[in-house]
Amino acid sequence: RMSRHAKKLRDHDINPCVAETDATTKCMDDNNYKKDMCTAYFLKYKNCRKFWHGIMMQRRRNGVKPEMPSADERKKILESMG
């Protein structure tokens, strides 16, 4: 059974980078945990976190709730950016 924390990390509405997390984990599994083989995946994950953290901080400053947009909202934000 998953802990509450683990469930949050798997929730697409809470964690905008579930796909990047999964891809990084899979890469590590596939490459015997040699980090240097998965640099691109780590970078994508880091960029994802940085991007959505910025959005979250902006929403917090503007008093927008919830601070993290839902999965549907995030999809629209990304589509509007091209």
Percentage of the chain beyond pLDDT 90 is 80
What is the structure's pLDDT at 20? 96
**Structural domain of 61:** 4-80
What is the structure's pLDDT at 9? 79
pLDDT tens-digit profile of 11-37?
888 899 999 999 999 999 999 999 999
What is the structure's pLDDT at 6? 81
In the chain, the amino acid numbered 16 is P
Report DSSP state, residue 70. P
Domain count, the chain: 1
- Determine contact, residues 32/20, Cβ cutoff 8 Å: no
Smallest CA-to-CA distance from 23 within 43, 4, 1, 53 is with 43
The mean pLDDT value for 68-75 works out to 93
Percentage of the chain beyond pLDDT 70 is 100
